[in-house]
Structure 1
Amino acid sequence: MKGLIKGVVVLAVVAFLVAYFGTPLLTVNSLVAAAKAGDEAALERLVDFPAFRDSLKDELTARLMTEAEADPDVRDSALGGLGMMLAPMLVSGAVDALVNAPTIAAMVRTADTPDPTDAAAARTPQPEGEDQDIRQSYAYRDLNTFVLGLTDPDRPDEKLKLLLKRQGLFGWKLSGVDLPNPPPSGEVARSEAK
């Protein structure tokens, strides 16, 4: 009888650990399926939009400030300083207008970062005609943060990282983003020339 109780306890612990560490993969699969199907209702359930918007605002503002500080013309001019002060407000308004279920679906399908300068066009992204071959990778950042890495094979050095946060014991929601590092300015010029 003791062996049976011990076996049941061990089985329960193993089942708990599998559920505890495996549920983010179920959420990722649901997120990807909803994005490919354009299922806005499912995306609304799977995404913590306020947290995701805050994360995207932080990422875009940091990128904008880094680029502005690296440009001596912007850094040393009075208008550049004013622009750096106003940039967070502009980014905030654009992200609030831009981030919705179709935008999240487009990010998952294409591994592209939304462009806050084109909020009007990005409000209703069009579904892709064919599924792109987006590579996915998975990792825990910590016990409560799971990372879905998305990479377009045409841009292997630009990995978009979608951050899922634990909600309760077994629930997960898309709550943040780590944007890929932009290519050096010389590479941007070369890729635009192609």
Structure 2
Amino acid sequence: MSKKLIAGLMFAVAAFLVAYFASPVLAVRGLTEAARAGDEAALRERVDFPEFRASLKEELNAELMVRMRADPRSDNPVLSGLGMLLAPSLVSGAVDAFVTPQAIAAMVRSAKAPDPVARPGPVAPAEATESGRDTVHQSWAYRDLDTFAVTLTNDEHPDQHLALLMERRGLFSWKLAGIDLTAPSEDDAI
């Protein structure tokens, strides 16, 4: 093989690898810009709503169960058990109604976990001030080759973390398909 052919192949492989591993960063930037602009159509393209809803239901139900078990007022096992049976259906209905492009935009702009009790309003563009953009920080990490986590933190609540999980669709395309409300750990990234 000639040196030019080998160099060309090496360049092509390197370019493919850079595009393969950098593609989620570009997808996150697109999601962030659509959220800041309040662009509902762009958000609909970038979010897999059925998968995101299922992930959010799972996270909220787990958090609710932990809270219910830790509640010192749950001395009555019958009432506690009834609450644990009814809670998932209440969370499910609230999440189905709550998860909209407006809610996704609000989460990305504020780095706050969703509150399914609150009713979302219309999407409004974020403030254009630099101070508004500096309050939410992003950190990125692969969880596996097909899952990319974007952990959002807000300067006002640095101990609270919201991880949005992007999933690979094809070689270079990504969609928001999950959420992780637990604190990030070093073991989550590869």
Q: Same fold (TM over 0.5)?
A: yes
Secondary structure (helix, strand or coil) at the match of 1:117 reads coil
Aligned match of 1:172 = 174
Give yes or no for contact 2:153–2:161 (8 Å, CA) kept in 1.
yes
Q: Which has the higher contact order (CA 8 A, sep 6+)?
A: 2
Query: 1 CA distance for matches of 2:59 and 2:18?
Result: 33
1:157 is matched with which residue?
A: 159
Displacement of 1:37 = 0.3
Give structure 1 stretches of 5+ with no counterpart: 182-194
Q: Which amino acid aligns with 1:162?
A: L
Higher helix share: 1
Aligned to 2:186: none
TM-fit CA distance, 1:164: 0.2
Give me the whole-angstrom Cα distance separating, in 1, the residues matched to 2:115 and 2:161. Answer: 16
Alignment of 1:1-194 (within 5 A): 2-74=2-74, 76-118=76-118, 121-124=119-122, 127-129=125-127, 131-132=132-133, 133-180=135-182
* Aligned mates of 1:136, 1:56 — CA distance in 2: 20
- Matched AA of 1:41: A
The structural deviation recorded for 1:123 is: 4.9
Structure 2 residue matching 1:97: 3-state secondary structure: helix
Unaligned runs of 5+ in 2: 184-190
Note the C-alpha offset of 1:12.
0.6
After superposition, the CA RMSD in angstroms is 1.6
TM-score (norm 1): 0.87
- Residues 125/75 of structure 1: CA separation in 2 closer, same or farther (3 Å cut): farther
Aligned to 2:188: none
Sort the Cα spacing of 1:142 and 1:89 in 2 relative to 1 into closer, same or farther, 3 A.
same
User: Could you report, residue by residue, the CA deviation over 1:143-186 in whole angstroms, capped at 9, with x for unpaired residues?
Assistant: 110011110011111111000000111110000001145xxxxx
Please list every run of at least 4 consecutive aligned residues from structure 1 whose deviation after the TM superposition is greater than 4 angstroms: 125-128
Matching residue of 1:188? none
CA shift for structure 1 position 76: 3.2
d(CA) in 1 for partners of 2:40, 2:178: 18
1:135 deviates by 0.7
Q: 1:17 to 1:92 in 2, by over 3 A?
A: same
**What's the TM-score, normalizing by structure 2?**
0.89
